Chain A
Amino acid sequence: MTKIYHTFMIEMKLYTRDFFSFFFTFAFPSLLLLLYGSIYGNEPTVYFDGYGTIDVSIPAYCAMIIGVTGLMAFPLTLAHYKEHQIYKRLDATPVGKGFVIWIQTAVNIIMTLLGFLLLFIVGKLAYDVEYEGELWAISIAILLSIAAIFSIGFLFTSIARDSKMTNLLCYLSYFLMLFLSGATMPKEMFSDTLLSISKFLPLTYVVDLLQGTFNGEALHEYNFEIGMLAGICLLCSLMGAIFYKRKNWA
C-alpha cells in the first residue's frame, strides 16, 4: 500500500505542476461556463429542447475535460517517460513500469473526475443547475467515455515513434475534436458540413451520450453512441497493446 500511496501522490503533484493539463482540466471549463453563463444565462430555451445553456454546457465541458486528460495529459506523460527512458529505469526496480503506468492512468482518471466536480460546483453555485439523470447511467456514460478517449491517447503513444510525433497527433486530434464535436460550441450552431464532420469524431459521441444521460434520458436511447465508444475503446486498446509489444523500450 505504501508504494501505491507514494507513487500516486507524487504523480498527482506532477499533474498539477503541468500548466497546460492543470489549466485546461480545472480552470478553463469553469471560466468558459461563467463566460457563457454571463452572456446567455441559464433560462430554458427551445433552442436546446427546453434546457438552458448551462444545462447543456456542463456535460459538453465534461467531454472537453476527458479530451484534455485522455488526449493530452495521459499520452504526453507516457511519451515523455518513454522517450527519456524513465520507464526503462523504472523497469529496473521491483515494481516495473507496468505498475507506474497503471498509477498514471488512475491519476488521470481521478483528475478528470475532480475536473467534473469543480465544474458542477461552479454550475450549482452560479446557476443552481440540477440534473434529472440517474447516477448509475451517468456513471456508466462517464466511464465508457473515459475508456474510449484514453484508449485513443494510448494508441497515439504506441504508434508514434517519438514524443514530437505523439505531441502532433495529440494536439491535432484534441483541438479538432474540441471545436468540432460540440464540446465547446453547441452542435445546434453547426452548419450541415460541420455536422457531417463531427460524426467522424469520437468526442461527438461522448458529448451526445453525456448530455443525454445527464438530462435524464435512458441509456438505451443512446445504444448507437454506446456501441461506437465501446468499439473505439476495444479497437484502440487492442491495437495500442499490439504496437506497444513491438515497441523498443530501450
Chain B
Amino acid sequence: MKNKIVTVNNLSIQYKTTTAVQNLSFSIKEQEIYAIIGPNGAGKTSTVECIEGLRMPSSGKVSVLGVTPHLNRKRMYKQMGIQLQEADYPDKMKVKELCIYFSAFYDHPADWRLLLKQLDLQKRENTLIKKLSGGEKRKLSILLALLPKPKLLILDELTTGLDPEARRMMWQSLLNIRNAGTTILLVSHYLDEVEHLADRLLYLVDGHKQFEGTLEEFRQYAENQITPSERKHNLNLEQLYLLVSPKKGALLSEVMK
C-alpha cells in the first residue's frame, strides 16, 4: 500500500461572491501521476494553488508531504517542484543565470547543466530569456521545478506551447522522473497527454468533483453518460471527455466527425 503524498478533505475556495471550489476531496498516492482535468473556470488552478501553499483554503483541510501547505511553505518547497501556469522570468537574465539563481535557493539542488542537456536547452545556456521561444520557456520552467529533486512535482499546463516532438519527449521524461520515485500532479487541457501519462484523474466542473479514478474507470463513467448510438463509435479519451462536458450539445457534431 503506497503512502498518500497529498490529501484534500472538503476543500472550498471562495473569491468574494464566487465559489471556485466546493467540498472537494481526493488524495494522491506516492509515485503516481495524477491528472486534474476540466473546462476553464472549473477550479483546477485554484485547487492546485492550495496544494502549493500559494492560496489559503476558505475551508477544508489540505495535507501535502505531511504538512499543511500554507503554514509550512518553506519546508515543503524543499521537496516540491512547481511549474506555474503563467509565471514568467526576468527577461534580461540569461538561461544559465536563471538556473544559478534558482539553484542557490536549495541546499542540495539537482545539476542544472545536466537538466539543460536532458531538456535539450544546453545550446541556449547564454541566451537571454526574452529571446527564448514559448516552448523553450516552458522547458525552462520544468527545469526549475526539477531543481529541488522533488518528491512531488506539480505541473500546470505542462506542454502548452511545445511542438509535438517536444511534447512526446517531455512525456517520456516525465515517465522516467516518475519511475525514479517522484509523484506528479498534472493539470492539463490535453486529453492525449492525460491518456498517455496519468494513472488516475480527477474531473472537475464548476468547482465540483464529477469523477475520480483510473483512466479505464473514466471510460466506463463516460460511456454510462452517453447514448447507445454515441457508444458505437470507437471514441478516444478526448471525445469521451467532450461528450460528458457541460457543452456537449455544441460539441456533439464535432466529436462525431
Contacts and interface: CB of A to CB of B under 8 A. Distances in A.
A14 B90 contact: yes
Interface string B72-85: 01110110001010
A250 B53 CA distance: 12
Interface in A1-50: 2-3, 5-7, 10, 13-14, 17-18
A10 B101 contact: yes
B217 interface: no
Contacts of A96: 73-74
B88 interface: yes
Interface residues of A, number: 24
A5 B100 CA distance: 11
A84 interface: yes
B92 A17 contact: yes
Contacts of B49: 250
A18 B89 CA distance: 15
Contacts of A127: none
Given A2-B104, A93-B102, A94-B105, A88 B54 contact: yes
Contacts of A89: 82, 84, 87-89, 144
Given A7-B101, A91-B54, A92-B52, A86 B77 contact: no
Contact of A13 (B54, B84, B97): B97
Contacts of A93: 77, 102, 105-106
Interface in B101-125: 101-106
Interface string B164-187: 000000000000000000000000
Contacts of B77: 92-94
A85 B84 contact: yes
B90 A86 contact: yes
Contact of B54 (A14, A92, A94): A92
Contacts of B86: 85
Contacts of A125: none
A95 interface: yes
B169 to A, nearest CB: 24
A222 interface: no
Nearest to B154: A92
Interface of A: 2-3, 5-7, 10, 13-14, 17-18, 80-81, 84-86, 88-89, 91-96, 250
Given A89-B89, A92-B82, A93-B106, 19 more contacts: A5-B104, A10-B100, A13-B97, A18-B92, A81-B90, A84-B87, A85-B84, A88-B54, A88-B84, A89-B84, A89-B87, A92-B52, A93-B77, A93-B105, A94-B74, A94-B106, A95-B74, A95-B105, A250-B49
